[in-house]
Amino acid sequence: MGPGSDWNSVDGEGSRSFWTSMEKTLIILKPDAVKNKHIGHIVTRIEEEGFKILGMKLLQLSKSDAQKFYEVHKERPFYDDLCNYMISGPVVVAALEAPAAVQKWRDLIGATDPKEAAANTIRALYAESKEANAVHGSDSAENAQNEVAFFFKDGELIG
Ligand code: UDP
Ligand code: MG
């Protein structure tokens, strides 16, 4: 095993390997991205950046879906507006896989507020505002597991 040969391989349990672990993350193309016809641009970027798409679907979220998905933010002042925004039109949800996928996607999308997002990040390119900021990304491997399970049944992901 050496660089180039097995860089993307999944670390075995208890492995002393320093190779980056394969990981899943849950992403959402939010209503503004869908409405503004950015699905194609963003999916192209996903493919160019080397993520594997394990599952992808277009959905109209219900209010209770949005409330459950963003439950961690329920005490925040923006929670109600955020939930209403997330049901304002269809979204695309996808499970992606890559080495260190959670951080890789967060780096690619940029800061929550597109005004603060680095040049060429997805939010800098496509977001409308801090709320309508084009995309979601899980913020930890543990949350990613829960968020993938929120949208995809066992057996629905194609690995
Ligand atoms: N959000 C908002 N106002 C804020 C902060 C967040 O409307 O002041 C929305 C925005 O759509 C964001 C989502 O709430 O993406 C979740 O917030 P979080 O802090 O988790 O940001 P993210 O992880 O999406 O960058
Ligand atoms: Mg977040």
Provide the H-helix boundaries in 29-153.
31-35, 39-48, 63-69, 79-86, 101-109, 122-126, 141-151
Determine the distance separating the centroid of ligand 1 and the alpha carbon of 112, expressed in angstroms: 6
Q: What residue spans define the domains of the chain?
A: 22-57+91-151
Q: Is the CB of 112 under 6 A from ligand 1?
A: yes
Catalytic site positions: 136
- Type and span of the H or E element at 56: strand 52-59
CATH 3.40.50.300 is held by the domain 22-57+91-151: no
Nearest CA to ligand 1 atom 17: 112
Predicted pLDDT at 154:
86
Nearest CA to ligand 1 atom 25: 112
Determine the distance separating the centroid of ligand 2 and the alpha carbon of 138, expressed in angstroms: 6
Predicted pLDDT at 18:
62
Residuewise pLDDT in 10s, the chain (159 residues): 333 334 444 444 555 456 789 999 999 999 999 999 999 999 999 999 999 999 999 999 999 999 999 999 999 999 999 999 999 999 999 999 999 999 999 999 999 999 999 999 999 999 999 999 999 999 999 999 999 999 999 899 998
Nearest CA to ligand 1 atom 7: 131
Predicted pLDDT at 9:
45
Predicted pLDDT at 152:
98
Q: Is the pTM of this model over 0.75?
A: yes
| Angle, CA 30 vertex, CA 65 and CA 115 arms, to 5° | 130
Q: Is the CB of 128 under 6 A from ligand 1?
A: no
Predicted pLDDT at 20:
80
